[in-house]
Amino acid sequence: MNRLPVVVLISGTGSNLAALLASARGEDCPYDVVAVIADRDAAGLEHARAAAIPTQIVSLSAHPDRAAWDQALTAAVAAYNPHLVVLAGFMKLVGPPLLDAFGGRIINTHPALLPSFPGAHGVRDALAHGVKVTGCSVIEVDAGVDTGKILAQTAVEILDEDTEETLHERIKAVEQPLLVEVVRRLTAAR
């Protein structure tokens, strides 16, 4: 099977990246993670290094302005000629250069059932609003904040005893397999 190249962008511990890498070890997997790029020295880079996958840090602070960073990030991703770009806990908005180069081929996860609770605090916002069900979404990235086409969602019940931390952990438990399923589907469809 000819596997399609995927570049993963991260900012944190890389739990979604780890799930993608575990899936990629399967013989029937339609993709390979060919590079992992972070916007900081993220702990999740260790998952890639342990799998001998190239890593790179493209830090905003290393560039004179946001436009220069956007260009550098786009160049770093483009160097691997990916079929798909996966934002897996990447905590920066991507700019026009990346969207222009890979539009329709960038996906992201979000810890809420979009269009409800977009932005950086989806879990906290769901708890604050007192909803009984939240979940996770995988979307196609566009120029807005969590406004892209919804590709898949999974619901998670909010328990009375949930804190932001416990709810987020339960969301991650369903987010990881959902992300893997979407990446497999998008790369298998070619």
Give catalytic residues, as residue numbers: 110
* Residues 122-145 as b or e (16 or more Cβ within 10 Å = b): bbbbbbeeeeeebbbbbbbbbeee
Residue 109: which of 9, 3, 7 has the closest Cα? 9
How many residues belong to the chain?
Answer: 190
Question: Residue 56 corresponds to which tokens in the numbers above?
Answer: 């790179």
Q: Which amino acid is at 25?
A: R
Contact 119, 110 (CB under 8 A): no
